[in-house]
Amino acid sequence: MTRDSLIRALEAAESHCAGRGEKLTPVRRRVLELVLEADAPVKAYDLLEALKPGPGAAKPPTVYRALDFLMAAGLVHKVEALNAFVGCSHAHDDGGAELFICSDCGSVEERHGAPDPVNMPDGFVIERSVVEHFGHCANCRH
């Protein structure tokens, strides 16, 4: 992610929150920045480390609270199978993203609009779906 597109993404996030009547506070903004800067899913405790040198040494609850907020706002997704977090450039409120994660380089691509499952149990109503595909991206194929 280039410096310019990072700045644009942060501005977009700012107005996205404003539109929801919520505030992208300095801590939240800094965490989002760190997640967007990374070129792979980021661990919560890596964020913690990265925040240490800052104005206040962050403790775990600070980071997790920021991540919770950003996830609720649709600005960050959790990769459940990795216990790690990725930035989202789409800012969609529904958590229904489909992630393609390269096991070699860590790059993550996000897609949307997957059709409903074909073999759903009778009468089941889906509220939230976790879909994570692991494999090799075009750059890393042997």
Partner DNA sequence: TGCGAGTGGTGATATTATAACATCCGTGAT
Partner DNA sequence: ATCACGGATGTTATAATATCACCACTCGCA
Q: Residue 1's binding partner, choosing from DNA, Zn ion, a copy of itself, none, with beta-carbon cut-off 5 to 8 A by kind?
A: none
17 among annotated binding-site residues: no
Q: Residue 124's binding partner, choosing from DNA, a copy of itself, Zn ion, none, with beta-carbon cut-off 5 to 8 A by kind?
A: a copy of itself
Q: Does 26 bind DNA (CB under 7 A)?
A: yes
Write b or e for each residue in 50-71: b if 16 or more Cβ atoms lie within 10 A of its Cβ, otherwise e.
Answer: bbeeeeeebeeebbeebbebbe
- If DSSP states are collapsed to H, E and C, what string results for 70-117? HHHCCCEEEECCCCEEEECCCCCCCCCCEEEEECCCCCEEEECCCCCC
- Any idea what the Cα angle at residue 42 is, between residues 21 and 39, rounded to 5°? 100
Q: Does 81 bind DNA (CB under 7 A)?
A: no
Q: How many residues in the shown chain lie near DNA by CB under 7 A? A: 22
Site for Zn ion in 112-141 (CB under 5 A): 137, 140
Q: Does 134 bind a copy of itself (CB under 8 A)?
A: yes
Q: Which residues are annotated as a binding site?
A: 102, 105, 137, 140
Which residues of the chain form contacts with DNA (CB under 7 A)? Answer: 22-23, 25-28, 43-45, 56-62, 64-66, 69, 83-84
